[in-house]
Amino acid sequence: MEETKELIVTANAKITHAKYQTIVTSDGHSIVADEPVELGGGNTAMSPFNLLLASLASCTAITLRMYIDRKMWIVDEISIDLEMFKTPDGTFIDSKLKFSGELTAEQIKRLITIAEACPIHKILVGNVTVNTEISN
């Protein structure tokens, strides 16, 4: 029985001989990724690890802003600081949320739950399968 899949997004990465600068394109937008000098790259852009955290941080911020706006709470700024650690059991991401505005303790508690419901968070803590094959 074949699994049902719904396409969410596509991306393409191209690299030539510029160590290790990579052009990543998705939905008509392009960014550059690279590795730090100590790993042989040119440090011209964020590394794939930086991009992963950037994806989580931006998704969390957007999800929180959508919820806060819908509730009409007074929040001028949302800041998310992330750190990623290698552990004996795998990977640990520490997320610190900061809000500039008028929030109660109960609202802040609710926002932690909302932050953990962002789509990228769900992907990272969920069941992910990556299928790799040669394309024609």
With respect to residue 135, please indicate whether it lies within any of the assigned structural domains: no
Show pLDDT as tens, one digit a residue, over the chain (136 residues).
567 899 999 999 999 988 899 999 999 999 999 999 999 999 999 999 999 999 999 999 999 999 999 999 999 999 999 999 999 999 999 999 999 999 999 999 999 999 999 999 999 999 999 999 999 8
Q: Which one, of 37, 31, 39, lies nearest residue 14 by Cα?
A: 31
Asked if 64 and 25 sit in the same domain, the reply is: no
Same domain? 37 vs 102: no
DSSP 41: S
User: Could you list the residue range(s) of the whole structural domain that residue 100 is in?
Assistant: 47-127
- The CA angle 32-49-126, to the nearest 5 degrees, is 120
Tell me which DSSP letter residue 19 carries. T
Same domain, residue pair 73 and 56 = yes
